[in-house]
Structure 1
């Protein structure tokens, strides 16, 4: 964790003391689970501690709830991805099922891939997945999507640039 200056630590500490209970309750109402709400509330304050500048919100509850909403959406996204993966695993013969460690690595990789593709146009995502996951050649993708190969190539360039930005910037 980066160094936290004393002023920032005091400001986050003050926000924590004044609003932790409210934030936990706010999250619990939306999540229906006190333990997950506590985790996300804690993660919210950790985010504040790791920010470059000390937070000085005019409306602390709105500020905290905005950060917590992002964490909540990430939590739901992860749950949905894990559920989809487990459903796909259930269709596999039992002797082909990966170990729990392998399952965890796959879920982490899928989450990273989802993060990489976030913000790209849907068509670009579709092209990327058809090329990388389905193993289709650019001409096959173009034929299936009724577009030209040049459009497939350009989409792949945008996707690869996005991969590079997320992984190395």
Structure 2
């Protein structure tokens, strides 16, 4: 596996950086890709290891972006929820 990692490092990091737009996140996903690859149980043989690691990386990038979108939507919803004092029409007091 170290040979596979070294052989595709640049190409996979570039792919991930393009997908997630953050180099630090791309590096984290790169590491997670090989952790997942190492943990593969091997129930079926991997005929094309390069394609397999790129599929793992693509899935991780998609999961990351979905999580980021969910967090963004949740923050927007929090911002749109009025404070209790606004609902009750009471003046707001600092705590």
Partner of 2:51: 62
1:1-169 alignment, distance < 5 Å: 12-53=1-42, 57-93=46-82
- Runs of 5+ consecutive residues of structure 2 not aligned to the other structure: 86-95
Q: Deviations over 1:58-103 (max 9, x none)?
A: 433322111111101101110111011000110124579xxxxxxx
State the structure with bigger RCO (CA 8 A, min sep 6), 1 or 2: 2
Could you tell me how far apart the structure 2 residues matched to 1:77 and 1:34 are?
A: 18
- Runs of 5+ consecutive residues of structure 1 not aligned to the other structure: 1-11, 97-169
Could you tell me how far apart the structure 2 residues matched to 1:63 and 1:53 are?
A: 12
Paired residue total? 85
Do the aligned partners of 1:48 and 1:55 also contact (CA within 8 Å) in 2? no
Q: Deviations over 1:110-135 (max 9, x none)?
A: xxxxxxxxxxxxxxxxxxxxxxxxxx
Q: Root-mean-square deviation (CA), in Å?
A: 2.4
